[in-house]
Amino acid sequence: MNKKEYKIYCKTVRKFFKDNNCHHLSIIEDKEAYFSWASCECCNTKLGGDRYDCNSFDYSIREITGPFSICIDCFYFAEYGQLDDMTMMEIEENEEDKKSFIHL
């Protein structure tokens, strides 16, 4: 992932949160991750992978919303405000490589 793709990802995830009036996501108890080819409801990735059924609490209507089937990246982003450390380092490295290439 590069910086441009990361910005698009962040915009997509934030739109999901805004559209669904989510402030956080919680994994539904007694539900384990499962493999699915279905798109993540949060970032719309078409890649197959583990999905988690999550819900949220909509404060405006005072009700639990969901379930939402989301990928691990989106759950991590919801918890920590960014992707995992390895992905973030990869983004920075791609940016540094791009800068060093320009200076050659």
**How large is the average pLDDT for residues 57-85?**
93
Query: Is the CB of residue 1 less than 8 Å from the CB of residue 9?
Result: yes
Q: Between 98 and 39, where is the model more confident?
A: 39
pLDDT of residue 98: 58
**How large is the average pLDDT for residues 20-28?**
90
Q: Which domain holds residue 20?
A: 3-103
Q: What is the rounded distance in angstroms from the CA atom of residue 48 to the CA atom of residue 94?
A: 24
Where does the pLDDT of residue 88 fall: very low under 50, low under 70, confident under 90, or very high at 90 and above?
very high
DSSP 11-67: HHHHHHHHHTT-S--EEPTT---EEE-SPPTTT---S-EEEEEEEEEETTTTEEEEE
Q: Between 94 and 82, where is the model more confident?
A: 82
DSSP label of 84: -
| Mean pLDDT of the residues in the chain | 89
**How large is the average pLDDT for residues 70-76?**
94
Domain count, the chain: 1
> Quick check: 81 pLDDT over 60?
yes
Where does the pLDDT of residue 97 fall: very low under 50, low under 70, confident under 90, or very high at 90 and above?
low
Q: What is the rounded distance in angstroms from the CA atom of residue 13 to the CA atom of residue 39?
A: 13
